[in-house]
């Protein structure tokens, strides 16, 4: 009998336990970080009982209007005077974007109308308003 066959033969198996551990840690990190990155500007959304979803596209442009009236395009603050020109520039570069507008529930109606008018005049055809779904009683 040769010494290799009776003791310590070479095994060619892969131990996947460390790989699974690393994958689970990465999954947990992404689950914690993803909502933080998506949140962007803090806006207290209005509540509705029944809302419809916009067909989900990956190329949506987010315009947020905070409670103080500050306008944010893609999480960058924009002055109201510069908003129309910026939206036209974005529409020219990327005309097939859908626009979602996140407006704080405490805003004046006039402020939201100005933002929606600027979005419409820039040429965007598909515009949606983001709301929270309120729980209905019953």
DSSP string, 18-87: HHHHHHHHHHHHHHHHHHHHHH-S---PPEESS--PPPP-S-EEEEEE-TTS-EEETTEEE-TTTHHHHH
Instruction: Report the relative pairing of strands 60-65 and 71-73 from DSSP bridges.
Output: antiparallel
- Domains recognised in the chain with CATH numbers: 47-133 (3.30.420.270)
pLDDT in tens, 52-73: 666 655 678 889 898 888 899 9
- Whole-prediction pTM value? 0.61
pLDDT in tens, 18-49: 999 999 999 999 888 876 665 566 776 777 67
């Amino acid at each position: 009998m040769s010494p290799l066959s009776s003791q310590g033969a070479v095994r060619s198996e892969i131990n996947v336990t460390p790989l699974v551990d690393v994958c689970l840690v990465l999954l947990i990190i992404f689950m914690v970080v993803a909502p933080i990155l998506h949140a962007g500007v803090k806006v207290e959304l209005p509540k509705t009982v029944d809302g419809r979803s916009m067909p989900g596209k990956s190329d949506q442009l987010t315009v947020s209007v905070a409670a103080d009236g500050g306008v944010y395009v893609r999480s960058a603050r924009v002055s109201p005077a510069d908003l129309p020109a910026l939206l036209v520039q974005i529409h020219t570069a990327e005309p097939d974007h859908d626009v979602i507008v996140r407006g704080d529930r405490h805003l004046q109606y006039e402020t939201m109308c100005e933002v929606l008018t600027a979005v419409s005049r820039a040429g965007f055809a598909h515009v949606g308003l983001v709301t929270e779904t309120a729980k209905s009683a019953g």
